[in-house]
Structure 1
Amino acid sequence: MMNIFALLKITKDFTHSEKAVAQFILEHPQEFLNMNTKQISDECFVSTSSIYRLCDKLNLSGLSELKVKISGSIDNYFKDNNDFDFNFPIRQNQTHFEIIHKLKEDYEQTVLSTSELFQLDQLKHTVHAMKKAKVIDVYTSAGNIPFALNFQFQMLEIGIRVHVPIDEYQQQLTAASSDETHFAIMISFEGRGLLAHTIPLLLNRNQTPILLISSPDYPLDDLSFQYHLYMSHHEDHYHKISSYSTRLSLLYILDVLYTCYFELDYEENLSKKLHYYHHMTSHQ
């Protein structure tokens, strides 16, 4: 299951009362663990039923299970430095030593926050759907294309062909000619441009299952996507030095997808990869 703190941050259908409890947990997790239902109710100015509705929306049996989830995740939550400036990790006149360590902290925080956004059931179902598909297509744009091509290369090393249409015409044509035997991976941080509208419409019309890799802030106004994995969303879309965090988060997700796919037939995939490289180098 997704880290409970990440789940509290990204769930969008909380009522006002449920939001008050969620916010209290995020701001005072240690105190929450030591409070009973009435104390939480009084502190947050909500009814006790709001607390149990919150648990129900989190697919938890009650307050006791919620506290178990919080207790199991609290150490990582405290490691996640909420004061770190992901948009401007480097400031003017910093030394090379400071730059090295600030970027290191950026990457560490990014991997931690991305790992806590994984939903294991979603990941499992996604990988099995990829395995079942005859064709895998990846739809993305701009700076994400090199990461899609790297994923394509990884999969080709184990004999799986992945298509990465690059320009808009190729993407539309690929989506229009897709069918239920294809599996589509859409990478779009917050649902801008062609990817947010035209491509999902074409894929849904052709009954092609879709994995969306996006920020938790992606505007989900329909049920177009069967599978969903989340990128870290600490960075602003424009107001930043560079996409340090977003790039690493996407690379991490694609590497996890590849590795989980590889693991389904570990010995066979390893044998194929080594066999291909043996043939490539045997004539040199």
Structure 2
Amino acid sequence: MNIFNKLNQLTSLTENEKILAKYMQNNPENFIKMSASEISDACFISTSTIYRLCQKLDLLGLSDLKIQVSSSINEYLNEKNVIDYNYPFNGNETQYEVILKMKELYEQTLISSLNLIDINQLNLISNALKDSKHIDFYTSAGNIYFAENFKFQMQEIGRLINVPIEEYHQRLTASSSDENHVAIIVSFEGRGAIMQNIAEILKNNKTPIILISSTNENPLNKYATYQLYLSSNENHFNKISSFSTRLSLLYILDCMYTQFFKLNYNANIKYKLNTYNKLSNKK
């Protein structure tokens, strides 16, 4: 995960640590050139605050922090480009201007999604999917189509996924789940009572949960075994459409699929080609 997004995820920062984090976000290029004493003077904090923040970020020290900032700075500055995710165009613009705005919206969404991906979590998730006997995918509304697409991708390489759609079927599936299952839950902010109920049932049944959600406060976070974050710049309802959230979800699911595919790359290619040869009646 991009170090700046990781900073935003920390919830136990002291006031001085918040000042330091804000300085890093506002002055990333200067920060990587400064010594501990220079940073301390600029932020009016003690040097011990710097090293406490490094510990909270699971980093070895200031040098490690500077490396992380340096490697993240380009994507972070690109993401700061101003765009209205909810109303990316207005009624007075030409169709060509709208097309360009949509291109910019998609580019910014992909940058934001990339910055939020935790590679370690992605690796753990791919191994959890590989080791599980059953995979169940829980979501609702328009996200069902993305779940079905992920199901199709996985079926092409011989891995079957269950996508219950109706609420009763979702509850029934969760109730019959156990530690041999892995559950994928997609819920932007966990508003629906059904997903909270399903997450609680799964947790009680000791089923590992992969939660894909926004970075906003979410009651489902406490149930998650693994977690990946969607680009979270859109309002839940006050917008033209879920342009950004849809693209972010597709990107994350494709990252999950490709990481899983890579675990057994050559065998998966062989399986897929053999299957399509059979479909085409080729020997």
How far is 1:221 from its partner?
Answer: 7.5
Cα distance in 1 between the residues matched to 2:225 and 2:115? 20
- 1:25 is paired with a residue of what secondary structure? helix
What SS does structure 2 have at the residue aligned with 1:251? helix
Q: Report if the CA contact (8 A) 2:189-2:216 is conserved.
A: yes
Using the size of structure 1 for normalisation, the TM-score is 0.95
| Matched residue SS, 1:142 | coil
CA distance in 2, matches of 1:222, 1:278: 43
Report the 3-state secondary structure (helix = DSSP H, G, I; strand = E; otherwise coil) of the residue aligned with 1:212. Answer: strand
Q: How far apart, CA to CA, are the structure 1 residues paired with 2:125 and 2:187?
A: 17
1:270 aligns with 2:269: yes
- The residue that corresponds to 2:2 in the other structure is 3
Which residue pairs with 2:52 in the alignment? 53
CA distance in 2, matches of 1:167, 1:13: 39
Contact 2:190 2:220 in 1 (8 A): no
Distance 2:79 2:198 in 1: 35
Partner of 1:282: 281
- Equivalent residues of 1:189, 1:215 under 8 A apart: yes
CA contact (8 A) 1:186 1:195 kept: no
Alpha-carbon contact 2:212-2:229 (below 8 Å) kept: yes
CA contact (8 A) 1:139 1:195 kept: no
Q: What displacement does 1:36 show?
A: 2.3
The C-alpha deviation readout for 1:35-71, integer Å capped at 9, x for no partner, is: 2223322332322222211111001111111111111
Correspondence for 2:79:
80
SS in 1 for 2:143: helix
**Residue type matched to 1:74 in 2?**
I
SS in 2 for 1:70: helix
Structure 1 equivalent of residue 199 of structure 2: 200
**C-alpha distance in 2 between matches for 1:221 and 1:85:** 28
CA contact (8 A) 1:189 1:218 kept: no
**For residues 149-169 of structure 1, what are the alpha-carbon distances to aligned partners after superposition, in whole Å with 9 as ceiling and x for unaligned?**
110111111111101111211
Name the amino acid aligned to 2:47: T
Aligned AA for 1:33?
Answer: I
Please name the residue that 1:137 is paired with.
136
Q: Is the 8 A contact 1:140 1:195 kept in 2?
A: no
In the alignment, which residue of structure 2 is the partner of 1:38? 37
Distance 2:220 2:54 in 1: 24
Contact persistence 2:86–2:239 (CA under 8 A): yes
**Structure 2 unaligned residues grouped into runs of 5+:** none
Query: Comparing 73-82 with 156-165, which one deviates more in the overlay?
Result: 73-82
Q: What's the RMSD between the two structures over aligned residues?
A: 1.6
CA contact (8 A) 2:199 2:220 kept: no
Q: Secondary structure at the match of 1:163?
A: coil
Equivalent position of 1:176 in the other structure = 175
Q: How many residues align?
A: 282
Rounded to whole Å, the distance in 1 between the matches of 2:25 and 2:46 is 19
Matches of 1:212 and 1:147, distance apart in 2: 15
- Would you say the 8 A contact 1:168–1:194 is kept in 2? no
- Specify whether residues 227 and 219 from structure 1 end up closer, same or farther in structure 2 by C-alpha distance, changes over 3 A only: same
Farther-moved stretch of structure 1 (109-118 vs 215-224): 215-224
Deviations 1:8-53 (Å, cap 9, x if unpaired)? 1222221221111111111111122232223322332322222211
Identical counterparts, % of pairs: 50
TM-score (ref. length: structure 2): 0.95
Gaps of 5+ in 1: none
Equivalence for 2:115? 116
Runs (4+) off by over 6 Å: none
